A = this chain, B = another copy of it.
Amino acid sequence: MKKNKRITIYDLANELGISASYVSRALNDHPSISDKMKMLVKMKAQELNYRHNSNAANLRMGSSRTIGVVVPKINESFFSNVIAGIEATCFEHKHHLIICQSEELFEKEVLAVEKLVRLNVDCIIISLSSQTITFNHLEEVKNNNIQLIQFDRTTDKISSHQIINNNKETAYKVVKHLLQQGYSRIAYIGGPEHTGIYKERKAGYLQALKEADISIPYHFVNDNALTREHGSVIARELLQLKEPPDAIFTTTDYVAFGVLKTAAGLGIKVPEQLGVFGFANEMFAEMLTPGLSSVEQFTQEIGKRAAGFYFEQLASKKTISSSKEVISCELILRGSSLRKQR
């Protein structure tokens, strides 16, 4: 095992017979240094395989040109697309990205946030886990002068910039669409209400029903469902009622998939006997048979705006304590909710 000690600017300085400070400036394109010397230093760096040490630089500068992202799951397409958007914008601004997942666990979310604080990131972009109901860990982020930006699963209890969809309005439109397709006994299977987006979607659902003067049984409204399994179980209960729903609106495509599976299992035809509408337009939504109607949230855009906001703040040097940015969704209509010829 060779003890390949890493090359530092001091080594470069020695080799070149100049000082370390000079080397540092040369590498950073400081204006007081001639292009010729910059060239020379950079050549040498290349030759000796010099690697900049971020830890040393960050320690000195107190900034890391790094943004941390915390999401529940990186393999839900919603989140991975948001991340893609964030990354694109970071890339433009030559910032790094560190991605963490909370796996929907509060404990892991706290750990991830702590880690990012310790790493001295300049900004944390977060979408809360479904378990998260206290926010000290976010307060801490701000106490450490780290810019906090929330998206999608946000809380108003912590003041920060937020990027969200027009959830209520969109849910309202979904129900309107279902009504227009001739469904009237529309059930709801949504996520936990303490998470803002699900509350909003539920509100939109309820408002549309109210406006249409439709009353639905108590059991038609279900919260706390996020997975395919939840969807299956609740759908089974709903569809075996004496007077079952003729449409189900879910706040996640995963839940919708569970519903579709159960319906198929019970021999219920979609969309003829049951309309199904999802949310998030996951990649698999169009792969199903029939295609799952869902909501496009322009996820990439959300990511771009989240990171974009940070860089705007950085440039303007103003600090906005609290604000909201809304991105409008689009209904993607597929077979699962279309029974009328249009």
Contacts and interface: CB of A to CB of B under 8 A. Distances in A.
Interface of A: 1, 4, 6, 49, 51-56, 58-59, 64, 74-75, 77, 80-81, 83-84, 87, 96-101, 114-115, 117-120, 140, 143-145, 257, 283-284, 287-289, 319
A75 B80 contact: yes
A53 B59 contact: yes
A59 B57 CA distance: 9
Given A54-B119, A288-B288, 20 more contacts: A1-B319, A6-B144, A6-B145, A49-B143, A51-B118, A52-B118, A53-B59, A53-B118, A55-B55, A55-B56, A55-B119, A56-B59, A75-B81, A75-B84, A96-B115, A97-B100, A99-B99, A283-B284, A287-B287, A287-B288
Contacts of A119: 54-55
Most B CB contacts (10 A, CB to CB) among A74, A80, A87 go to: A74
A288 B291 CA distance: 10
Nearest to A321: B1
A81 B51 CA distance: 31
A4 B120 contact: no
Nearest to A292: B287
Contact of A98 (B4, B59, B87, B98): B98
A53 B140 CA distance: 14
20 contacts: A1-B319, A4-B143, A4-B144, A4-B145, A55-B56, A55-B119, A59-B59, A74-B74, A74-B75, A74-B80, A74-B83, A75-B75, A75-B77, A75-B80, A87-B101, A96-B115, A98-B98, A98-B99, A284-B284, A288-B288
A99 B87 CA distance: 12
A4 B146 CA distance: 10
Nearest to A287: B284
Contacts of A55: 54-56, 58-59, 64, 119-120
